[in-house]
Structure 1
């Protein structure tokens, strides 16, 4: 069987920590989890065949990434299907940029070439689903990984192609989770059984994001003042403006009652007057929010995925109130999750 898009990618379920001893005895591999867009790349079965780039949801976006298409035509063999992560490098900033990746993914084809110069794309491969026209889904992960590594060796692949780092050493994986996540674009690890087949749309892998404890200011809520459902949080930027950084997951009933004891309705002139808050990152659905005095400091748990200089892309987890802290003590907008006020 020759694979053609759309192919549903295999998925991962979230976990808080590395799987226990039973899973480890069965044999697992650890890969670095990168903060990009999941993508499958198809090369044509014959010379001159069309290169296709498919998103996780099945859309074809190769017209937005002409630099990758050209590189694939020049460097990759025919009849190949790779699974991996699309990343973009911001040349001016000298770092990986999720915001730039979003811009490229949404661009029209006629502007894609100029964007590729400013924000070149990279493909980090972590699986091979087809090689030389032969489908590999039923092969165990360890065999597919060996074939992927051999592909990089045989074709001397370099940028924009990158082989996703992998280890079977638990100590090394923990080092990646604790220290490599300080690097822009690395947000955790993915754990994969060595004997697992590639099962489209099945959550057979485990993803673990690094989470850090930090603080933010409660500027708005949903629900009521006495029974808030979730907190909308902010931080002051260098100019002293309160900027939204994210929202929490829904509060547990006992936590909601506790927080409600300290909330106060906003005074006139609240910095977020007239602001609409999205129900989720990237969503157009607005929350029914109530502004509160931006004085109450919340300790939160956050992962490393941020956007627009300081907005958390994933919901935050409320930990406790920091009644010992003033709003001025909270890290500034753009500090991310790594900087805690202590």
Structure 2
């Protein structure tokens, strides 16, 4: 179930949580299965081996499905950039324990073989709070708050991403974007598809800028190019490995790109999702001062859509 961008709801029947800046993960423990624990992203990718420090979830219950966000703290604040390298591949237990992630759990979808999807959020949350999450290393319940306006102010002061409001009566609808969950972010962010890239001049094949697209009614619409945030060697390695095999002979964009953007471009199939922060949009729909934040393997390319801001 996905949140809908919008203004902060008011009135009775709502609870409020921090909008965690991490990777959405479904954790399932199945009795008698091998392996007993599976961690999967929204797109269905198996990331169990990426987070070995969460193996203790098998001790929580023999049959349970949890929904939550994997975060990595940097200076006490969740950092998507710090988490990015853990999202990309397998790490050993020793490496994970030196800088462990935290699984912030906010929903329970099945317990002891009983499906809870049609139960109201208040009931699912009460069930979650009866589980001994405190007894599992690197796992915490995402706290609930009654005052959304106060939480929005505090999250802004502390540099957190924002707030998610949830209607207590709401059932859980897998994969759907629901008005019963509303997200309010302090900064603009946008998931984009990469339609091509421009090599960095004189840099031996390094990627200098990504050409970004957002699906529209007539095909892939150009959203601008991003070069800020691509300098790191780890980022270059990930992008080169992901985009190289997708190289295509022609532009995937619905309209020809401006010469200043298309010059020297190498095109690719638009199946890699990246997230960028930005300062709004131009009249032509281009992102203002975009900054690359990371590859979003947890987002299905079919889910990418234009976000407000």
Q: Distance in 1 between matches of 2:32 and 2:187?
A: 46
Q: Distance in 1 between matches of 2:279 and 2:138?
A: 33
Q: Distance in 1 between matches of 2:228 and 2:79?
A: 23
Residue 173 of structure 1: which of 141, 148, 161 is its match? 148
Task: Say which SS state the counterpart of residue 178 (structure 1) adopts.
Answer: helix
Task: Say which SS state the counterpart of residue 317 (structure 1) adopts.
Answer: coil
Task: Say which SS state the counterpart of residue 96 (structure 2) adopts.
Answer: helix
Gaps of at least 5 residues in structure 2 are 189-208, 215-224, 231-238, 244-251, 262-274, 284-290, 292-309
Residue 145 of structure 1: which of 116, 121, 125 is its match? 125
Task: Say which SS state the counterpart of residue 174 (structure 1) adopts.
Answer: helix
Whether the aligned pair in 1 keeps the contact of 2:22 and 2:78 (CA below 8 Å) is: no
Whether the aligned pair in 2 keeps the contact of 1:178 and 1:210 (CA below 8 Å) is: no
Whether the aligned pair in 2 keeps the contact of 1:13 and 1:207 (CA below 8 Å) is: yes
Task: Say which SS state the counterpart of residue 57 (structure 2) adopts.
Answer: helix
Whether the aligned pair in 2 keeps the contact of 1:100 and 1:119 (CA below 8 Å) is: no
Larger radius of gyration: 1
Return the offset for 1:38: 0.4
Q: Distance in 2 between matches of 1:208 and 1:137?
A: 24
Return the offset for 1:95: 5.0
Q: What is the aligned partner in structure 2 of residue 337 from structure 1?
A: none
Q: Distance in 2 between matches of 1:95 and 1:315?
A: 20
Q: What is the aligned partner in structure 1 of residue 25 from structure 2?
A: 39
Q: What is the aligned partner in structure 1 of residue 161 from structure 2?
A: 187
Q: What is the aligned partner in structure 2 of residue 12 from structure 1?
A: 3
Q: 1:211 to 1:48 in 2, by over 3 A?
A: closer
Whether the aligned pair in 1 keeps the contact of 2:28 and 2:64 (CA below 8 Å) is: yes
Return the offset for 1:48: 7.2
Whether the aligned pair in 2 keeps the contact of 1:47 and 1:78 (CA below 8 Å) is: no
Task: Say which SS state the counterpart of residue 313 (structure 1) adopts.
Answer: strand
Determine whether 1:81 maps to 2:102: no
Q: What is the aligned partner in structure 2 of residue 313 from structure 1?
A: 276
Residue 99 of structure 2: which of 119, 130, 133 is its match? 119
Whether the aligned pair in 2 keeps the contact of 1:79 and 1:134 (CA below 8 Å) is: no
Q: 1:113 to 1:158 in 2, by over 3 A?
A: closer
Q: 1:116 to 1:162 in 2, by over 3 A?
A: same
TM-score, normalised by the number of residues in structure 2: 0.60
Gaps of at least 5 residues in structure 1 are 1-9, 213-243, 250-275, 292-311, 321-332, 334-342
Deviates more, 1:125-134 or 1:95-104: 95-104
Return the offset for 1:149: 1.0
| 1:5-55 superposed Cα distances (whole Å, 9 cap, x missing partner) | xxxxx011111x2135xxx34x12212111000000011224875100010
Matches within 5 A, 1:204-215: 204=178, 205-211=181-187
Return the offset for 1:288: 5.2
Q: What is the aligned partner in structure 2 of residue 157 from structure 1?
A: 135
TM-score, normalised by the number of residues in structure 1: 0.55
Q: 1:175 to 1:59 in 2, by over 3 A?
A: same
Whether the aligned pair in 2 keeps the contact of 1:45 and 1:133 (CA below 8 Å) is: no
